A and B are shown apart, each in its own frame.
Chain A
Amino acid sequence: MKARLCLLLGLLAGALFCQAQTRTVTGTVLDFNGLPLANSTVRVIGGPATITDSTGRFTINVPATASNIEISAVGFTAQTIPIPADGVIEVRLQQAAAGTLQEVVVTGYGTRRRTEFTGATSRVSAQQIQQVPMASFDQILQGRAAGLYVASGSGQPGSSARVNIRGVGTLGGGSDPLYVVDGVPVEVGVFRTLNPNDFESVDVLKDASGTSLYGSRGANGVIVITTRRGRSGTPQFQYRGQAGLSRPPESTIDMMNTDQRLQFEERILGPSGILSASGGLTGFPGWDYSPNNPRYQNLSAAERAIEAARLDSVRQINTNWQDVFFRNGTFTSHELNASGGTANTSFYTSLSYFHQEGVVLRSSLDRYTFRANVDFRTDRLTVGVRSGAGWSRQSGIESEAGIALANPIAAAFLTLPYERLYRPNGSINTGAGRIGPNAFERLQSTTSLNNQFKGNLSVTAQFDIWNGLSFRSTNGLDYRNNNTSRFIDPRSFAGQSLTANGGQGSYAEGNSEFLNLITTSGLVFSRTVRDRHRINAQALIEFIANRQRNFSGTGFGIIAALPNTPAAITPGSATNNFIPLVSGARTRNALFSQILSGDYTFDRKYTLSASVRNDMPSQVPEENRNNIFWSVGASWNVMEEAFMNRQKIFQELRVRASHGTAANAQGFTSDFGYLVSYGAGGYAGVPGIVPTSPGNPLYELEYQVISNLGIELSTWQRRARAVFEIYNKSSRRLFASQPLSRTTGFNALNTNAGTVRNRGFEMTLSADVVSQEKFVVTLGFNAAYTQNRIISLGALNEFVSGTSIVRVGYPIGTHFVVGLLGIDPQTGNPIYEDSTGKPTSVYSASNNRAEYGTFLPKWQGGFSTDVTWRNFDLRLLFSFAQDVQRFNNERFFYEGGNNLFQYNQRVEMLNSWTQPGQVTEYQRIGAGNSRQFTSRDINDASFFRMRNVNLGYTFNFNNNKPIRGFRLFAQAQNLFTWTKWEGFDPEESNNIATYEFPNPKTYTVGLDINF
């Protein structure tokens, strides 16, 4: 009840403050988003001037002779407009040209002129986000902002990416930035049901001046999304449509064909082969039916003929399993949006449909979204309502990114080429061990659907109290419901293999719900005194409540005539074994905060900023609940100094610095992870309890201190622009999973320990190399260098995490394996390295070394080229990541791992060692010589990719009816990739390659019509 009260309070308070008054000539200045623009200059031509207040409002006495008024603000194109008869003016200033330094920064707690903001930020504009054929907007950000690393882990339509701002500063916690949409924090990694075309801008806050405002949620950086707002005036409509095709990328690995495979079987099993199998049948036709097999000598002529025929019939089959599982996927999207309004109200609304098929069978996404943004204003009250809702249905593949034979990408590599997909009677050739047919049948006879509803709502009310002091309240929610369902057809091989539950298929359905509620309210102050002292200040309190719950059930004994519905479930009994499974969980957490922040600018030259925030998260023990964060920053706008008038080199020059703290709260293993706890753990179905967490009374947030120094400049008559940043970020008391001696009964303890440092620099360069009236060429480049290092581990010993080691002096994600020097030409055995790097023939985990790099890139960034010639425009985006090493786990399976016989191998395995003196990369196949995970499996995953190319033609008609204009375009996504990586796709969100869904190449054509 209290929580609800808290949330309603803001709105109530806002509404009660509502009062009305009138003056001579009044007006409001808004930015391109429709946000009130404080401190803009309003000047009567040939008369007095004034400045807008924090709500964008002004009042001015106008001489009777005056007819025009000029309005200007830093970051915006100035406008001159006639004074209307009613004396009420609303002006919306358009953003100054993209890529210039005259931008604004949206921090989520307010909007600042970039020239007076002390922090490091990057802005991605609407133009760069819109109409890219990807459902999840985070994927679209790749290569767009310096220091923003976006790594796409999956080509499944709708999947989200790994996003890191300025490296990874945690061991066991989350490294995702905080995402804020119109003032409301939204769930990480759940973006597929948001329409990126609705976004006006995306601001990336990278240092303390921005992130410290967010306290315990800010340490990984903040991505602030502002959705589009309506423009007053006659309603304008826009249709946007796109259609296209996704194609699978080409694998750089060649697998054996049937001839090669049969030859290989004879080699590895035959008498001259290394296993020296003889006698009985092995189950592999290449050797079993070979005339070189000793059993051949004992066969009669008739039997020999039969075997020769068998071998021949096997030889006739040569299935290309990649062709079986991959396909070309279609893509379609349609959108209709409208914008308009009167002097005091405006709206923006959109409806969209998005359909994309993945390049692997069965994968797809269908999405419907709706948005309605409304703004209205009375004399002293401004209210903005932002509402978005969407529904999407994602159809997934089996065992995505799993080392599992049901994963179609694994099956495409590993199925033997002489397996047939279909039996002669047309049915799928399933059976024990038949990898490809089983995986294919699974895709046909099962479903894996995820229906998502997502709603975002926020209401911001601002009431002007007196002379620059206002009360502001933002209240909102982010809601997501996932309904997952999974059906396994009882008639299928997959359904009949469910022996545990009666072998007659299954139907599962689950719901999971996520709800974030936020209220932020308090006083804001904004005032400019005598045009020299500009002051902004805020005192806010904030309360965030988060609830999550899920419930799912699986039923068995499916009636085949009722596919894909829970109605087909047969009630379970002890005799039929169709006992349904149900499970679920719920949890909640809360955060209460107090925020003070302010900045002061003197004479447009010097800005000082400071903030303090106290965060009280519920996830830590009560003693640890007060967490103070602070920041200070300063900026010097050198261009405003008198001495700069004498030089002609720079048109803009600014230096700024910031220092402050933040923390990461994404790392608590559970909302109650600090408590010793017990949970359900029965004995053969009889309920019992078992300890589930050893508890940690010292559990706390992960702290960070970040310092930043930046320089922004432009030269060549503003045609060349540059921003340089250098930073040092130290994350302490890291979330870590400390491996425990198993004698404690637990495998790991969730704790805080150690320090990780990220330091680096970023640069953003752009230049209009051609700048003519009808021909503009702009080149852009951004790059970030990140040096990540574990500085200490506190009370922890260094420990192994998966295939990586956490070791002081090394970066996070450092691979930890035994070195492989090569293959001994005399014996065919591998020559490993011992722990000091000396050759040894013995493979031992104690010889693991940390010399093979990490999957976190040292360098990453993007290049862009924008060409405009008459009505044509061409935009290219390249992205790159350098110095990336990933563990290619896929190799193990097609390069002679344990399952040499069962899985198809790469063609080069035919070169595996057979005789002394042979120089080869592939070791002798045989007993006592297992293929081990070694440095051979750590591979360079650096890449340079043509991420997007878009060619468009825009035409605007002179008479606006019925159509004002259109834009026609064609684009390609991921057209070329340059890499040394072996496999489908070097780009991935984690350290290990496990047959992930590769990123497709997508080609589309589109049309936008304005009417």
Chain B
Amino acid sequence: MNFLRNSLMAVSFMALAGSCKKQLDLRPTDVILNENAFQTVTDLNSGALGVYGTWQQRRVIYLSSILSDELRQGTGSEYRGVGAILFRWDYTSDAQDFRDTEPGGVWTNLYSVIDRANRVLAAIDNVQPQTDAETQTRERIRGEMLAVRAFAHFELLRTYARSFEASSPGIPYQSEYVQNPSTYRPARQSAGEVVNNIETDLSQARTLIPQTFTDISRVTRNGVVAMQARVSLYARNWDSAAARASYVINAQPLTPRAAYPALWTTRNLANNQSTEVIWKLNVAQANVGNAVGSLFQDANGAVQFTPSQKLLNSYDSTADIRFPTFFRTTPRTLLAKWGAITPTATDNFVYDIKMLRTSEMYLIRAEARAELNNLSGAASDVTALRAQRITGAAPAAYASTAEAISDIYLERFRELAVEGHRYYDLKRRNLPIERLLEDVQNNTAIATLSPNNPRYLLPIPQQEVFANPNIGQNPGY
């Protein structure tokens, strides 16, 4: 009898325990499932903010300024060797600096931006707006994402392609997010195809973003047009470059000389289109890792890079408002454009990153006009810019296109210093990188980099080549 009772209990226990199986249906608490990610326009906006937050323009600036003649390495034991192999043009495709999370990992970062934008774009038509306002917001977000995607591809193209000539090897253009990443191994498109895709996306974005949208921490219509202007400049479409630059110049004027220092000392610029910032990426304490200044100086003040003497020499140190704005000279020379720590002033380098400015539009238009042989037009643009920067600047006047280009390049060197332009400017005209001997401790081996040197063009990061043999490495690596 006892046996029977006990056996029954054992059997019923086994049956009961079977219900434990239901315990296996666990749902995650810490992640949002794909099917729930984008359900409302607010969700789409969250996704768009995620895209902006992903973009680390500091990486582009890091490569451009260290490779070129804008900076000089730190000295003594405070220099930790940051960017040393970039500065010495001594990199291989597998160099640490180019890896996923490193400051030179432009490839990884921008394709991540593109993927995230594509995911928002893929979800956008499944979201049903509840009001007209939501409809407008949704379409604006579509425009922003198209513009971000296009401009990220532009940055990749100018970093990893030898030139913008139509037949030259470009990069893969990602028009939608990848559903089966394990088998996705794209080859490069030609630069011409990439530029066409960029132009298509930007022109669509231009119509989707209303002129009334003025949040400069996101892409506005002016921002799209400024992007178009820069694309035209690199693609040497001079007429459209001039026209697009004019559009932006008319919409957002230059910041006058008196207000110029505030442009660089204000950590978080307001959405005020009277300043010349067309698009900026916000930096706050929360994403301090995106700040630019910390690339060049450590939190404890140790200097990794200082402005090159060549850059310092290019300014009139008393008349040019940019000199005291961009640099500190006492007790030591420091780059201050993105913040600086001095014995008397601390800094956390939290400054918004200016992506597009009206002064660049002037210089784009000047260059386009010079190429179109409108030398007086070019001179008037340079003069207009200098009037807002240099006290008593002499008006520019050019006798030839070459002279104009050379002067415009000087002004780009000064105005756009350490903003991610210099290396690309030299590269798009096939000009050598030339440093002063005093900027390289008289080491002639690292004073000049000829465009014929394979190191003049950056490698596709080895991590990509290993994962995707179809990509095709740049020559010389």
Do A and B interact with each other, yes or no? yes
Does the CB pair B477–A846 fall under 8 Å?
A: yes
In the complex the two chains form, what is the Cα distance from A170 to B29 in whole Å? Answer: 29
Given A577-B348, A684-B283, A742-B107, does the pair A432, B181 have CB atoms closer than 8 Å? no
Query: Residue A738 at the B interface, CB < 8 A?
Result: yes
Most chain B CB within a 10 A radius of its CB, from A405, A521, A683, A927:
A683
Given contacts A684-B290, A687-B46, 7 further A-B contacts (CB under 8 A): A6-B20, A277-B443, A499-B346, A618-B25, A672-B31, A683-B53, A689-B47
Identity of the chain B residue whose Cβ is nearest the Cβ of A277 in the assembled complex: B441
Chain A hits for B178, CB < 8 A: 743-745
Chain B hits for A671, CB < 8 A: 26, 28
Give the top 3 A-B pairs by smallest Cβ distance, nearest first: A745-B115, A283-B76, A688-B49
Most chain B CB within a 10 A radius of its CB, from A432, A618, A684, A897:
A684
Does the CB pair B477–A742 fall under 8 Å?
A: no
Given A683-B49, A684-B284, does the pair A585, B30 have CB atoms closer than 8 Å? yes
Given A9-B17, A500-B299, A592-B23, does the pair A797, B469 have CB atoms closer than 8 Å? yes
Chain A hits for B285, CB < 8 A: 500-501, 577, 579, 685
Given A590-B24, A901-B77, does the pair A9, B116 have CB atoms closer than 8 Å? no
Q: Mark B161-200, 1 if CB is under 8 A from A, else 0.
A: 0000000000010100110011111100000000000000
Does the CB pair B33–A743 fall under 8 Å?
A: no
Partner of B34, one of A579, A676, A928, A932: A676
Pairs across A and B, CB under 8 Å, 7 listed: A2-B19, A433-B80, A471-B10, A541-B14, A625-B24, A688-B47, A928-B446
Of B82-90, B201-209, B238-246, B403-411, the segment with at least 4 beta carbons within 8 Å of chain A is: B82-90
Of B254-262, B311-319, B458-466, the segment with at least 4 beta carbons within 8 Å of chain A is: B458-466
Q: How far is the CB of B374 from chain A (nearest CB, A)?
A: 40
Given A616-B21, A746-B181, does the pair A930, B88 have CB atoms closer than 8 Å? yes
Query: Residue A316 at the B interface, CB < 8 A?
Result: no
Identity of the chain B residue whose Cβ is nearest the Cβ of A800 in the assembled complex: B466
Given A493-B300, A499-B346, does the pair A465, B181 have CB atoms closer than 8 Å? no
Given A433-B302, A672-B28, A738-B182, does the pair A743, B76 have CB atoms closer than 8 Å? no
Chain B hits for A19, CB < 8 A: 2
Given A678-B37, A682-B50, does the pair A844, B43 have CB atoms closer than 8 Å? no
Chain A hits for B286, CB < 8 A: 682, 684-685
Identity of the chain B residue whose Cβ is nearest the Cβ of A932 in the assembled complex: B92
Identity of the chain A residue whose Cβ is nearest the Cβ of B302 in the assembled complex: A432
Q: How far is the CB of B82 from chain A (nearest CB, A)?
A: 9
Given A282-B441, A681-B53, does the pair A691, B115 have CB atoms closer than 8 Å? yes
Query: Residue B7 at the A interface, CB < 8 A?
Result: yes
Does the CB pair A902–B79 fall under 8 Å?
A: yes
Partner of A683, one of B22, B172, B282: B282
Identify which of residues 260-307 in chain B touch chain A, using a CB-to-CB cut-off of 8 Å: 281-288, 290, 298-303
Does the CB pair A744–B184 fall under 8 Å?
A: yes
In the complex the two chains form, what is the Cα distance from A405 to B81 in whole Å? Answer: 13
Query: Residue B226 at the A interface, CB < 8 A?
Result: no
Query: Residue B134 at the A interface, CB < 8 A?
Result: no
Q: How far is the CB of A378 from chain B (nearest CB, A)?
A: 14
Query: Residue B342 at the A interface, CB < 8 A?
Result: no
Does the CB pair B301–A688 fall under 8 Å?
A: no
In the complex the two chains form, what is the Cα distance from A245 to B367 in whole Å? Answer: 75
Does the CB pair B88–A928 fall under 8 Å?
A: yes
Identify which of residues 1-46 in chain A touch chain B, using a CB-to-CB cut-off of 8 Å: 2-3, 5-6, 9, 13, 16-17, 19
In the complex the two chains form, what is the Cα distance from A749 to B303 in whole Å? Answer: 38
Q: How far is the CB of B420 from chain A (nearest CB, A)?
A: 19
Partner of B299, one of A499, A541, A743: A499
Identify which of residues 442-482 in chain A touch chain B, using a CB-to-CB cut-off of 8 Å: 463, 465-466, 471
In the complex the two chains form, what is the Cα distance from A741 to B174 in whole Å? Answer: 12
Query: Residue A67 at the B interface, CB < 8 A?
Result: no
Q: How far is the CB of A163 from chain B (nearest CB, A)?
A: 29
Chain A hits for B114, CB < 8 A: 743, 745
Chain B hits for A845, CB < 8 A: 92-94, 462, 477
Query: Residue A523 at the B interface, CB < 8 A?
Result: yes
In the complex the two chains form, what is the Cα distance from A920 to B88 in whole Å? Answer: 25
Of A231-239, A692-700, A880-888, the segment with at least 4 beta carbons within 8 Å of chain B is: A692-700
Does the CB pair B21–A434 fall under 8 Å?
A: no
Query: Residue A711 at the B interface, CB < 8 A?
Result: no
Q: How far is the CB of B193 from chain A (nearest CB, A)?
A: 15
In the complex the two chains form, what is the Cα distance from A740 to B114 in whole Å? Answer: 15
Does the CB pair B33–A677 fall under 8 Å?
A: yes
Query: Residue B433 at the A interface, CB < 8 A?
Result: no
Partner of A930, one of B7, B85, B181: B85
Query: Residue A751 at the B interface, CB < 8 A?
Result: yes
Does the CB pair B34–A678 fall under 8 Å?
A: yes
Partner of A749, one of B6, B77, B181: B181
Does the CB pair A741–B186 fall under 8 Å?
A: yes
Chain B hits for A9, CB < 8 A: 13, 16-17
Does the CB pair A587–B446 fall under 8 Å?
A: no
Does the CB pair A747–B182 fall under 8 Å?
A: no
How many chain B residues have a CB neighbour from A under 8 Å?
109
Does the CB pair B441–A679 fall under 8 Å?
A: no
In the complex the two chains form, what is the Cα distance from A739 to B3 in whole Å? Answer: 60
Q: How far is the CB of B143 from chain A (nearest CB, A)?
A: 17
Most chain A CB within a 10 A radius of its CB, from B118, B346, B467:
B467
Does the CB pair A497–B29 fall under 8 Å?
A: no
Does the CB pair B284–A685 fall under 8 Å?
A: yes
Partner of B81, one of A497, A592, A902: A902
Q: Mark A402-424, 1 if CB is under 8 A from B, else 0.
A: 00010000000000100000000
Identity of the chain A residue whose Cβ is nearest the Cβ of B268 in the assembled complex: A684
In the complex the two chains form, what is the Cα distance from A284 to B78 in whole Å? Answer: 11
Given A497-B300, A543-B20, does the pair A279, B442 have CB atoms closer than 8 Å? yes
Query: Residue B100 at the A interface, CB < 8 A?
Result: yes
Q: Mark A729-742, 1 if CB is under 8 A from B, else 0.
A: 00000000011111
Chain B hits for A78, CB < 8 A: none
In the complex the two chains form, what is the Cα distance from A934 to B184 in whole Å? Answer: 32
Partner of A13, one of B10, B116, B464: B10
Partner of B112, one of A687, A745, A928: A745
Query: Residue A977 at the B interface, CB < 8 A?
Result: no
In the complex the two chains form, what is the Cα distance from A152 to B88 in whole Å? Answer: 40
Chain B hits for A275, CB < 8 A: 441, 443
Most chain B CB within a 10 A radius of its CB, from A501, A579, A743, A930:
A743
Partner of A927, one of B184, B288, B446, B467: B446
Does the CB pair B111–A684 fall under 8 Å?
A: no
Identify which of residues 388-421 in chain B touch chain A, using a CB-to-CB cut-off of 8 Å: none
Q: How far is the CB of A604 from chain B (nearest CB, A)?
A: 31
Q: How far is the CB of B17 from chain A (nearest CB, A)?
A: 5
Does the CB pair B287–A683 fall under 8 Å?
A: yes
Does the CB pair A432–B78 fall under 8 Å?
A: yes
Does the CB pair B76–A433 fall under 8 Å?
A: yes
Does the CB pair B49–A741 fall under 8 Å?
A: no
Query: Residue B211 at the A interface, CB < 8 A?
Result: no
Query: Residue B372 at the A interface, CB < 8 A?
Result: no
Does the CB pair A616–B13 fall under 8 Å?
A: no
Chain B hits for A625, CB < 8 A: 24
Query: Residue A317 at the B interface, CB < 8 A?
Result: no
Identify which of residues 29-56 in chain B touch chain A, using a CB-to-CB cut-off of 8 Å: 29-34, 37, 43, 46-54
Query: Residue A898 at the B interface, CB < 8 A?
Result: yes
Query: Residue B251 at the A interface, CB < 8 A?
Result: no
Chain B hits for A523, CB < 8 A: 10
In the complex the two chains form, what is the Cα distance from A587 to B28 in whole Å? Answer: 7
Identify which of residues 509-557 in chain A touch chain B, using a CB-to-CB cut-off of 8 Å: 519, 521-523, 541, 543, 545
Q: How far is the CB of B442 from chain A (nearest CB, A)?
A: 6
Identity of the chain B residue whose Cβ is nearest the Cβ of A416 in the assembled complex: B77
In the complex the two chains form, what is the Cα distance from A741 to B460 in whole Å? Answer: 12
Partner of B7, one of A283, A434, A465, A545: A465
Query: Residue A589 at the B interface, CB < 8 A?
Result: yes
Chain B hits for A521, CB < 8 A: 13-14, 17
Given A498-B299, A590-B23, does the pair A799, B467 have CB atoms closer than 8 Å? yes
